[in-house]
Amino acid sequence: MKLKQFLDSLNNEQLIDRLNLALDGAELGIWDWDLRDDSVQFDRRWCQMLGLDAEQTAMELGTWESRVHPDDIAQCYADIQAHLAGETHSYENIHRMRHENGEWIYILDRGRISGWDEDGKAIRFTGTHFDCTATERAKRVIDQQRELLADMVRNLPTGVAMFDTRGTYLAASDAWLRLFDLGPDPTELTGRTPAALGAALPPQWFEAQVQALRGESLSGDEDLITLPDGSRRYFRWSMRPWQASSEDIGGILVTCEDVTAHTEARRSSESEARLAALGLMAGGVAHELNTPLQTLMVHAEMIADELDALGDREVDAELAVIERYNDAVIQTTDRIASIVEALRTVSRHHPGDPLMPVDPRELANQQLDLCGARFRAERVRLTIDGIGVGDATILARPADVSQVLINLLNNALDAVHGRADAWVQLSVSREGDTCTFCVVDSGTGIPSEHIDQLMTPFFTTKKLGEGSGLGLSLAKSLAERMGGELAYVASAPNTTFELRLSCSSGDSPQ
């Protein structure tokens, strides 16, 4: 009301001055089109916007029309006619116009019917021009960058999808479309949920989605996932939130890659390395079993002979001899059972099994059963020391620990056999919450130039044909899957490897 009172107090000249000030501040040019004769009045600002001199500019429709970009003129007239026909509340169009310097500028053109004849027919059309070149160019740069990004995403070899907070698709790569059988066009996904498309995300990801929307980042290296077609594949995936602003989460970004071929190849290589390590023990284990079996046969025959002689000799003395032979049979049977249990432990390999409490001393002693014969055959002294571990237990997979220790012991034996006074020691100790298996041999260490590559797949210092180069790589992987680590101790005077695992219970050694 105060504004109206203020305007009413002004005379026409003052009103015009105020209007010009407002138009200058808003950087708006005015045009007034007489629809009867196509004459148009362009004000000073309209002309300056195009680099024209208002005094020399023809006040006719052709002045505007001749400067509109040929690709834009048809849409301009279509929007004008829509307003003149009463289809729109006002006219609005963004089009390019040629500046006097030859450049194309973007104009936001707005207008309305401002006069009618006695029959109600529109006779005047008035509006404004606004130079929106900077804004339009910025928008086009953003659009180009968005299109470039979309093209890059679409052509990524990895499956990538972007979702909003409601779980509806915003974008997806071609690889994602192929993985989840969603058709060739990612634009058909926009605004729809995976479930609505009949291709729900794997159940394993449901909880991950909730956590990601809370701001967490999650991932998996080799998850077995069931796809919409029922097939099961191994995937490496990640899921993290994306920010709509500095504070708000806009949704989640998911990446996934089918690593089935890689996983199966790696597991095949690991199986070969595992079999290679077991193969080195095979001859020794066969000897370990044959020797006690022969002992059993001999003592069984001796017991049978003694039983046959009972009628001719003093019974008490004969029973004492039989009891001695029977004790030997029991000890030998226990020895065979120990060897068989050690073999069962190292062969019971299930990567997905949970970690379980294990006695580290028992695992260490089993290695003597498994590897002792090979060491004796090579005339290398093998000693086991579990005193330093006390009553602690470790959280581990027994088969995996045995596999790591067998690999380290085999490597140590290969390194020192043939040397004078060769020896290898396996010890177990505990410090705080860590239990350490330490394999030391009489060698003087590994050349410094090889240390960084020691646990790299297919790296080996052995002669051609004597090693696959996968042993230490597999051992390192097994250790890490149990939450532990395998390390070479370069500072030790002799060649030393340590397998470090977490303790779950038990008292520290006194």
CA triple 127-131-134, angle to 5 deg: 150
| 265-505 shares the fold of 149-258 | no
Confidence of residue 3 (pLDDT cuts 50, 70, 90): very low
Question: pLDDT tens across 341-357, in order?
Answer: 555 555 455 556 678 88
Q: Is 482 helix (H, G, I), strand (E, B) or coil?
A: coil
Confidence at 333, pLDDT banded by 50, 70, 90: low
Q: How far apart are CA 78 and CA 91, in angstroms?
A: 10
The structure tokens listed for 385 are 């020391």
At residue 208, the pLDDT reads 84
Question: Which stretch of DSSP H or E encloses residue 190?
Answer: none
Exposed / middle / buried, residue 68 (Cβ in 10 Å: 0-12, 13-18, 19+)? buried
Q: Where are the alpha helices (DSSP H) in 11-166?
A: 12-26, 44-49, 61-65, 73-84, 133-154
Mean pLDDT score of the chain: 78
For residue 131, the model assigns a pLDDT of: 92
Residue 4 has pLDDT above 80, yes or no: no
273-287, 362-376, 418-432: lowest mean pLDDT where? 273-287
Residue spans of the domains in the chain: they are: 11-131, 149-258, 265-505
Provide the sign of the torsion angle of the four alpha carbons 114, 115, 121, 126, taken in this order. Answer: negative
Q: Is the pLDDT of residue 280 over 60?
A: no
- Quickly tell me which residue has 């019971």 as its tokens: 348
The continuous run of DSSP H or E covering 232 comes out as strand 232-243
265-505: CATH superfamily: Histidine kinase-like ATPase, C-terminal domain (3.30.565.10)
Band (pLDDT 50/70/90 cuts) for residue 46 is: very high
d(CA 433, CA 299): 48
Q: How confident is the model at residue 316 (pLDDT cuts 50, 70, 90)?
A: low
Nearest partner of 30 among 14, 10, 54, judged by Cα: 54
pLDDT of residue 128: 92
CB atoms within 10 A of CB 67: 19
Residue 403 · residue 277 · CB < 8 Å: yes
- Cα 345 to Cα 3, 20, 260, 367, distances in angstroms: 93, 93, 28, 10
The pLDDT, as a whole number, for residue 153 is 72
Whether domain 11-131 has CATH 3.40.50.150: the reply is: no
- Residue 241 CA: distances (Å) to CA of 2, 152, 195, 199, 405: 51, 20, 20, 22, 42
Assign 243 a pLDDT band (cuts: 50, 70, 90). Answer: confident
Distance CA 175, CA 160 (A): 7
Decide if 441 contacts 383 (C-beta within 8 A).
no
* CA 110 distance to own-chain centroid: 51
Q: Which tokens belong to 44? A: 């000073």
Rounded mean pLDDT, 382-392? 79
What is residue 88's predicted lDDT score, i.e. its pLDDT? 95
Global pTM? 0.42
Cβ–Cβ < 8 Å for 227, 199: no
**Mean of pLDDT values over 452-460:** 67
Q: Is 79 helix (H, G, I), strand (E, B) or coil?
A: helix
β-strand partners of 110: 92, 128
Residue 162 has pLDDT above 60, yes or no: yes
Alpha-carbon distances, residue 383 vs 97, 282, 306, 345, 438 (angstroms) = 91, 20, 39, 20, 12
* Interval 200-226 mean pLDDT: 82
State mean pLDDT over 273-290: 53
Which segments of 247-314 does DSSP mark as H helices, in order? 260-308
* pLDDT for 100: 95
Q: What is the pLDDT of residue 7?
A: 42
Q: Write the CATH number of the domain with boundaries 149-258.
A: 3.30.450.20
Nearest CA among 295, 370, 364 for reference residue 331:
295
Q: Which residue has the higher pLDDT, 211 or 286?
A: 211
